[in-house]
Structure 1
Amino acid sequence: MRLTILGGGGFRVPLVYQALLSDRGEGRVTEVVLYDADRARLSAIGAVLRQQARAAGVEKPPVVTETTSLDEALRGADFVFSAIRVGGLEGRTIDERVALDLGVLGQETVGAGGIAYGLRTLPVATAVAQRIAALAPGAWTINFTNPAGMVTEAMLPYLGDRVIGICDSPSGLGRRAAQALELDPSQVYYDYAGLNHLGWLRGLYFDGVDRLPELLASDERLGSFEEGRLFGPEWLRSLGAIPNEYLHYYYFARETLAAVAGSKQTRGAFLQDQQSAFYAEAGRHPELALEAWQRTRAERESTYMVESREVADAGERDERDMSAGGYEQVALSLMRAIAHNERASLILNVRNRGVLKHLDDDAVVEIPCVVDANGARPTPVGGTQLTDHQAGLVCAIKSVERSTIEAATTGSRTAAIRAFAHHPLIDSVTAAGSLLSAYAGHHRELGAFRL
């Protein structure tokens, strides 16, 4: 089975390969094709993957090839894993700084930064989707390119239900919540609903019994994992649910903005410096690429969402918060379920198909799905529909996503300003126009939106 990774020079690609090395079942991936426009980054990550294979001692590890030709990478693919970053980390750094200079949060998938990221990513993502449809029409596309829900929805017209979006945040939240109750995460059903980076864990079922109320009632158990510390017991009990970690940017917007603005450097700038150092070191000493990657990754994970944890006085991330089982395991489970008709329940980004009544059938939502050889099908949410509060946020952000897609597709400045102005974390139409003008001035990909 052949897996093509778009953005194959990306820093997190070794996580996917490590998951593949652990898969010893029949019909596993035997060939991995890395595609990237940057040859140096490709070489560095290719070296890491080969050293991973040697360290694992796998007799026949997936063969790794590298290419800068998209068409070559796509031909013959059974699965395409899309993890591209248009503009690189330099683009992310600009997104964050422009927003902060205008007094707005600039996180890369939430608020102004996410809209800017979407505007320059969507044209590339849809062009890639068209090439997949032309060269590998039977392939399944797993989208991890952010903003993941928005990008997945934009690819649907070209790939239909053969494109599925993934994210590690919901599964990580569910796993940590189950462990807080001393339950086996693999034996729990998670009632989770929303959009990518905007969802809530509303039920945690073990042996048919919802154990979430028990978790919400215990300060001690809530304090044992990251989301419990981020949001605090009182607020979680008020919600009657546990939010995705990214909702901290909404629920504590003022405090988080102040913390980010007061930091020495933005998250994007930190990662840009860190990863530039890694790629430079791997280029100088390719024989030590894996060691350099492991060291860099440990620092990256320990500093994840550091401003939000400072606001909540949540302390440092502990080992359980950073334990394995992220998006690479979601991707592997998804591929195995489809390729081998191994029925699985996963939280994915797919068409709504009437499950959430506040959104139309074609809206991409993040929700539990049943996966088998026919792909992923959303399952009805347990208990109740979204609350008024949840539905209000979800509908507002879906409007933002669709306005961004419209703007990226048509070049409409009006649609782009609407996307910024509709976002709950942007407080005026004037600010929306200023943000668009500033981003268009910094990013050549957004030249169509310049006045």
Structure 2
Amino acid sequence: MASRGIKIAVIGGGSSYTPELMEGLIRNVDILPVREVWLVDIEAGREKLDIVGSLAKRMVEKAAVPIKVHLTLNRREAIAGADYVVTQLRVGLLDARARDERIPLKYGCIGQETTGAGGFAKALRTIPVILDICKDIEELSPNAVLFNFTNPAGLVTEAVLKYSNVKCVGLCNLPIGMRMSIAKALSVDESRIQTEMVGINHLNWTTRIFLDGDDITDSFLDKYVGAADMTPKNIPDLRWDRDLLNALHAVPCGYLRYYYMTDQMLEEQLESARTVGTRAEVVKRVEAELFELYRDVNLAVKPKQLEQRGGAYYSEAAVRLMTSMYNNTRDIQTVNVRNGHTIPFLPPDVSIEVNCVIGRDGAYPLQPTAELSGSARGLLQVVKAYESLTVEAAVHGDRLAALEALTVHPLIPSVSVAKKLLHEILAANEAYLPQFK
């Protein structure tokens, strides 16, 4: 690797997020000597791949860095000999996401890309595709590391950990976004903030906050209730209840609003669906504008408007992880890995999202120093049970596991609703779910 430089394969290369990733690779080329970036997509994504790929090439040219950008519809060609593989794909494109959001709303349930019945539908479509990619990695580049950014990231990572031999780390921009938000609320540089995060993807709690090494968790919790702009763009920024934060003695991630404020969040979703559209429908409009910008042959940098897409800090998270692994820095980052005995009340073979030491051989989870509250532990166990059942349903086309997964989920009120949801999700996604035939 050192002599020829690093080869990266990006599966889902036509994504609107790709300029984020390219910006990070260009900025860090001195410490992460990338020489080849292969952007891969499917036939349905050819036009977007051409547009994004051309922008990526202009970015490299403007920066005058020695990175060669390749565009291909041949996944195996891209994976062969790759050092790192990044997955950032969306099976069924945004139309499928819009269905994932609207179907649950019909039954009075949260409709969201990664949480509840929407995340369940996305996982069923996505997990078989990711495992198929893993077969190519095992055959063509067995030493490669897979960085999975594809949602639902925790579920997808768990499937890879259980059903492939690929070295995989699941990645989300939420933990780094939380640190950035905390730093912004305190008006300090992000490098001065350290956090301890415990949980699973899109269901985690920041249990300890340090400023220059001093534990400021208590004082920050007092401040946090009124802090605005501390949640991802795709989640309404409703204020946390002060008594809840005191009871939890932790800062919940933005997605926990779906569990702690279900009535308000559902009301907001129903109103949005009636007026501006679901999040997927809004994103389609944002993406149309982005791709118009990307077409501009004079554009050679990541446009500011990309931040409206909801992927802020993606390149920070992805490139920081790659750089740390390549340089064996042994620093601490929050990523998705196999549990082992890190969270003792969860099974050892599931994926968790916790602080890890990042080195050349992978990500090693650190034992949390702060205990989660009893309610947080209980919620984690229930949602993890749902996730593990969903992985089994997706891999084996198991309808009973699928029904059990939906029935146990806290955002689905009854088995009768779970049955209706399952029937409609399987019917709406039939073209993507051959395992259920």
Shift of 1:172: 1.1
Query: Please, what TM-score do these two structures have when normalized by structure 2?
Result: 0.90
Shift of 1:121: 0.6
Which residue is equivalent to 1:44? 51
Pairwise mapping of residues 143-292 of structure 1 onto structure 2 (< 5 A)?
143-157=148-162, 159-160=164-165, 162-218=167-223, 222-223=226-227, 225-227=229-231, 230-263=239-272, 264=275, 265-276=277-288, 278-279=290-291, 281=292, 285-287=295-297
Shift of 1:432: 0.7
Pairwise mapping of residues 33-432 of structure 1 onto structure 2 (< 5 A)?
33-37=38-42, 38-54=45-61, 57-157=62-162, 159-160=164-165, 162-218=167-223, 222-223=226-227, 225-227=229-231, 230-263=239-272, 264=275, 265-276=277-288, 278-279=290-291, 281=292, 285-287=295-297, 294=303, 296-301=305-310, 326-384=313-371, 386-432=372-418
Q: 1:246 to 1:138 in 2, by over 3 A?
A: same
Shift of 1:188: 3.1
Paired residue secondary structure (1:262): helix
Paired residue secondary structure (2:382): helix
CA RMSD of aligned residues (A): 2.2
Shift of 1:106: 1.1
| Unmatched 5+ stretches in structure 2 | 1-5, 232-236
Letter in 2 for 1:39: R
Contact 2:138 2:165 (C-alpha < 8 Å) held by counterparts: no
- What percentage of residue pairs aligned between the two structures are identical? 33
Distance 2:356 2:267 in 1: 38
Q: Which moved more, 1:334-343 or 1:109-118?
A: 334-343
Contact 1:47 1:290 (C-alpha < 8 Å) held by counterparts: no
Contact 1:223 1:229 (C-alpha < 8 Å) held by counterparts: no
Q: 1:177 to 1:229 in 2, by over 3 A?
A: farther
Distance 1:93 1:446 in 2: 17
Distance 1:100 1:218 in 2: 34
Contact 2:148 2:157 (C-alpha < 8 Å) held by counterparts: yes
| Unmatched 5+ stretches in structure 1 | 305-323
Paired residue secondary structure (1:170): helix
Paired residue secondary structure (2:333): strand
Number of aligned residue pairs: 421
Paired residue secondary structure (1:41): helix
Contact 1:106 1:112 (C-alpha < 8 Å) held by counterparts: yes
Paired residue secondary structure (1:431): helix
Shift of 1:447: 5.5
Shift of 1:229: 6.0
Paired residue secondary structure (1:217): helix
Contact 1:230 1:248 (C-alpha < 8 Å) held by counterparts: no
Paired residue secondary structure (2:37): strand
Letter in 2 for 1:268: A
Contact 1:11 1:275 (C-alpha < 8 Å) held by counterparts: yes
